[in-house]
Amino acid sequence: MLLAVDIGNTQTVIGAYRGRSLEHRWRISTDLSRTADEYRILLTGLLSRVPLPLRGAALSSVVPTAVSAVRPVLSELVDGPVVVVGPGVRTGIQIRIDNPREVGADRVVNAIGAVERFGAPVLVVDFGTATTVDVIDSSGAYCGGAIAPGVQVAGDALAAAASALRRVELTAPRNATGRNTTEAVQSGLVFGWAGLVDGLVRRICTEQRLGALPVVATGGLAQLIGPVCETITHIEDDLTLRGLLVVLELNS
């Protein structure tokens, strides 16, 4: 079995693979105060359902403190290499931006997973703490993209800044024209972010002279926002895990 772990700002996704088959998948909250001992207890409990031995693990994270806590725990639990996505790790993808070290590990891994699954060119839209649109050109190189606030972040900021508004459940309302305040906020967040993504995708495709191509949604809110976007062609909940598996194979 092989293990893939992606630690985001809000959620952590863990997958256990048998070959190329995802056998187990867990999505838990990211806790920046969690210690190595707490990760050891958590991972040991989750992995009790997984046939041993674990032959390798790949880890990506945009939270440096979490990497410091999780990496030694994985080294204890895994009978094989533990690969942390970062400088010096083989990814199989060129990074063609001004400063390659600036691009987050999650965006690189998403690009790897998208190219492995759909080929190139391809766009990836990640609905996470931030909403990102990433461009992989016809040669399979990562060319940059766009970063916007995440849907939940925007909703929280709106509730905090507007005294007459409160946090609402993130769900698609019946119509874009809300008949009450709750529906109006839901419309702005769900349909508004769909419009934001569609606008960015169309602008990027025009700018990069891209024709018809796969536009893949992933991330914690992909199942909510993706279906109401006009430009999204595929929703892949496990895109990041798929990319991590490729990285592990390249570095084993």
> What would be the CATH architecture of the domain defined by 2-84?
2-Layer Sandwich (3.30)
CA distance 57 to 5: 8
Percent of the chain with pLDDT over 90: 95
Name 14's bridge partners. 5, 26
pLDDT in tens, 190-235: 999 999 999 999 999 999 999 999 999 999 999 999 999 999 999 9
Average pLDDT, the chain: 96
Residue 197 CB neighbours (<10 A)? 27
pLDDT of residue 49: 87
pLDDT of residue 87: 87
As a whole number, mean pLDDT of residues 9-35 equals 94
The CATH fold assigned to 100-242 is Nucleotidyltransferase; domain 5 (3.30.420)
pLDDT in tens, 62-97: 999 999 999 999 999 999 999 999 988 999 999 999
Q: Which of 250, 252, 241 is nearest to 17 (CA)?
A: 241
Residue 3 has pLDDT above 90, yes or no: yes
Q: How confident is the model at residue 135 (pLDDT cuts 50, 70, 90)?
A: very high
Q: How confident is the model at residue 252 (pLDDT cuts 50, 70, 90)?
A: confident
Residue 238 CB neighbours (<10 A)? 19
Q: Which of 190, 148, 150 is nearest to 168 (CA)?
A: 190
CA distance 198 to 36: 41
Catalytic residues: 106
Write down the domain spans for the chain. Answer: 2-84, 100-242
What sign does the CA torsion over 92, 97, 103, 109 have? negative
Residue 173 has pLDDT above 90, yes or no: yes
2-84 shares its CATH topology with 100-242: yes
